[in-house]
Amino acid sequence: MPLLYEVREGVAIITLNRPEAMNSIDPETRAELRAAWQRVAEDDAVRCVVLTGAGEKAFCTGSDLKKTMPPKESFAQLTFGQAQPGHLLAGMEMDKPIIGAVNGYAMGGGMELALACDVRIASENAHFALSEVRIGSIPGAGGTQHLPRLIGRSDAMLMLLTGDRVDAQEALRTGLVSKVVPAAQLLETALAIAARIALNAPLSVRAVKRLVREGSAMPLDRALALESYVFGLLRDTEDRIEGRRAFQEKRHPIYHGR
């Protein structure tokens, strides 16, 4: 199977499973990935996601050029027509947090998948690159927009304009990743973070993610007003009351997303 899906105690693990092809994305994998995001979105028991690649060589190296042919339709047909192919990141806009466990190479579209995650943890052998300018193209799945917002314009422009690779330590320096760990500890580390997130109030977690995502594109005064509004929405939820009761009773809260 080109993609593996499992759930452990509220955490969905999505594994790109084509290690023989550096976990590159072929049409079948793309379709299964879209289905997996839909599955996550519809399952209330899933509170966090870990996205990773099989093996230790690669997280994902982007599209499988051997199996991905140029579309037959014109750009106008793809833009305004009835049948529109799914975007590589389609479904990742959900409010549930996504942790990228980057094991090895994250190149091109693979790096753009990592950029679309909310938290990125890298193995010590990880490498990142958006090298499309070297082949007469550009990052087409958000790379030119996500990267400067995450690591700052100068470091982003250096990567985008040269197409150079950066290693895990440079990714840590620029803030592209939050942690760098030995490859053998990568999934364990990502799952531990995901488990801590999954224990928190799910409505609060999703609200925080949406506020960060939407607020970053707003003027500060509007973003603060949105934050105040969402605080009011959550104020009387069952989970917020449960959190306060658990604190008073010195026990762990049990949240239901209500």
CB atoms within 10 A of CB 111: 33
Active site residue 214: no
Report d(CA 194, CA 14) in Å as an integer: 13
Q: Which of 6, 112, 188, 227 is catalytic?
A: 112
Instruction: Determine which one of 42, 56, 93, 132 is catalytic.
Output: 132
SS3 string of the chain? CCEEEEEECCEEEEEECCHHHCCCECHHHHHHHHHHHHHHHHCCCCCEEEEEECCCCEEECCECCCCCCCCCCCHHHHHHCCCCCCCCCCCCCCCCCEEEEECCEEECHHHHHHHCCCEEEEECCCEEECCHHHHCCCCCCCHHHHHHHHHCHHHHHHHHHHCCCEEHHHHHHHCCCCEEECHHHHHHHHHHHHHHHHHCCHHHHHHHHHHHHHHCCCCHHHHHHHHHHHHHHHHCCHHHHHHHHHHHHCCCCCCCCC
Dist. CA 132–CA 230, nearest whole Å: 40
CA distances from 206 to 124, 210, 213, 237 (A): 30, 6, 11, 14
112 catalytic per annotation: yes
Catalytic residue IDs: 112, 132
